[in-house]
Structure 1
Amino acid sequence: MTYDPHSKSGTSRQEILDLLAGLAPPELAESFDSGRIGLIIEGKEHITKISTCLDVTPAVVRKAIENRSDLLIAHHTPIWAPLTSIGGDDARLFSMILQSEMNVYVMHTNWDHAPGGVNDILADLLGLTERENMSLGLVGTCVRTVEEMVRILKAPLRIWGNVEKVQRLAIAAGSGFDSALIREAQSLGADAFLSAELRHSVYRSSPLPLLESTHYALESPAMRVLAEKHGWEYIDDLPVLHSLS
């Protein structure tokens, strides 16, 4: 039986899991993701409605339950560290999920590395062409100005260093500011590097100007596009930022 994403009667959980594993093969994941991807919370075996999200937050879970989702596909796992006890916020979150019998599936660094995954979708959004893959992320020809990138990403953009015009842009969605990766981007002809969550020491040693956006702005498009392509629903939970002057 072949999975039909538009079927009104739903399908088996295993068929959906096979589809997701095909899109983001588990073997592409970084070693630190061992045990943290795939079906991490098991629920109903029959799937009629699917939602996607970046983070499994209480707000996202409540919305997914309200939508009667049988499967929530996330980029970030809600269980990062091993649990020896469950209480407080974790207990409340898992209680909602388990009572609803909703499945939770995580596709993290395997979705980052996958063709057509997180970084390719971000590159599509920014209009990058003539792409070359890096060990994480890619470098592509850029026709956007920095101001246009801000409008496209709908998020603040900090500029570290002098940027006049970006012709070859390196991108690494998420927390990708790594000194070795920046040097790799430079070797591929990049004249700027876009990622999130920059450390001061990395900036100081960088041979390239760095463009710092938010983790959410760079990775959430992949989960939104995944939902759009398959007729699922993306649940937004944009972090609230406050600036004090």
Structure 2
Amino acid sequence: MNQNIKDDEGKSRDEIIRMLEGLAPPDLAEPFDSGRIGLIVEGKPKITKICTCLDVTPAVVQAAIKMKADILIAHHTPIWNPLTSIGGSDARLLSKILSNELNIYVMHTNWDHAIGGVNDILADILGLTDTVSMSLGLVGSVTKNLKEIAEILHAPLRVWGDISSLKRLAIAAGSGFDIEIIKEAEKLGADAYLSAELRHSVYRSSPIPLLESTHYALESPSMRVLAQNNGWDYLDDPPMLHEIS
């Protein structure tokens, strides 16, 4: 990581943006992220309190305001589609953000692809070693069993297929169940592939067993670690998930 920028130092917004661009260069982002990363909402020019989050939800914004944050660094943009009118939940959320001069900065697929970013951090918390990069995500040696993986992620783990041996695990944080990437993982020796939001057709076409966790469980560690490494605050807002069997 780059030099830490801790709370109360009073850095300019531009200084912090340069630091964040060093961690996750914008040119690493996928083309569909054009206009959806970087400074999405402009607020105060001077920053003394920094928070991170996965999603810019009303609860997260309220927590950031309560903590007197000047910038909220998110993985997912709060404005995915262009707005031609502002009303309802968009108006309520943006009103709180703008009235409190809260900067919103987004690191999305550039953070996914960055060295030390989303997938590297996920691999680290799962204890993967001897990692090899894929077009998205990576493959590494794993010593944890399925129960231990679920416990680390603090989320349910659905197993699609029969896993007789798990020595090499492929991971792609977020919605990474792409059949071409799964085939790439198999060629790199993966015994199974971990991601989120699996479609039935992808499972039927997969050459290896698939492990399905939640989007939040796989991507939130990167924003939590980003905060921890820099003396910032991570604002947790996991989805409400109930399993009925």
Distance in 1 (CA, whole Å) between partners of 2:244 and 2:87 is: 34
Matched, 1:241 2:241: yes
Distance in 2 (CA, whole Å) between partners of 1:7 and 1:155 is: 31
Distance in 2 (CA, whole Å) between partners of 1:137 and 1:26 is: 18
The residue type equivalent to 2:238 in the other structure is L
After superposition, the CA RMSD in angstroms is: 1.2
Deviation by residue 1:149-201 (Cα, 9 ceiling, x = unmatched): 01100100000000133100000000000000000000101010000000000
Match of 1:136 in 2: 136
Distance in 1 (CA, whole Å) between partners of 2:4 and 2:126 is: 30
Match of 1:14 in 2: 14
Deviation by residue 1:185-218 (Cα, 9 ceiling, x = unmatched): 0010101000000000000000000000000000
The residue type equivalent to 1:202 in the other structure is V
Match of 1:204 in 2: 204
SS at match of 1:35: coil
1:47 and 1:71 in contact (8 A); partners too: yes
Q: For 1:84-123, what aligned pairs fall within 5 Å after superposition?
A: 84-123=84-123
The residue type equivalent to 2:181 in the other structure is L
* CA distance 1:3–1:190, change in 2 (3 Å): closer
2:4 and 2:231 in contact (8 A); partners too: no
* CA distance 1:129–1:3, change in 2 (3 Å): closer
TM-score w.r.t. the length of structure 1 is: 0.98
Distance in 2 (CA, whole Å) between partners of 1:31 and 1:133 is: 20
The residue type equivalent to 1:182 in the other structure is I
TM-score w.r.t. the length of structure 2 is: 0.98
Distance in 2 (CA, whole Å) between partners of 1:71 and 1:86 is: 22
Distance in 1 (CA, whole Å) between partners of 2:128 and 2:189 is: 14
Q: What is the deviation of 1:243? A: 3.0
Q: What runs of 5+ residues in structure 1 fail to find an aligned partner?
A: none
Question: Post-superposition, which runs of at least 4 consecutive aligned residues in structure 1 deviate over 6 A?
Answer: none
SS at match of 2:208: coil
The number of equivalent residue pairs is 244
The percent of aligned pairs where both chains have the same amino acid is: 68
Q: What is the deviation of 1:244? A: 3.7
Q: What runs of 5+ residues in structure 2 fail to find an aligned partner?
A: none
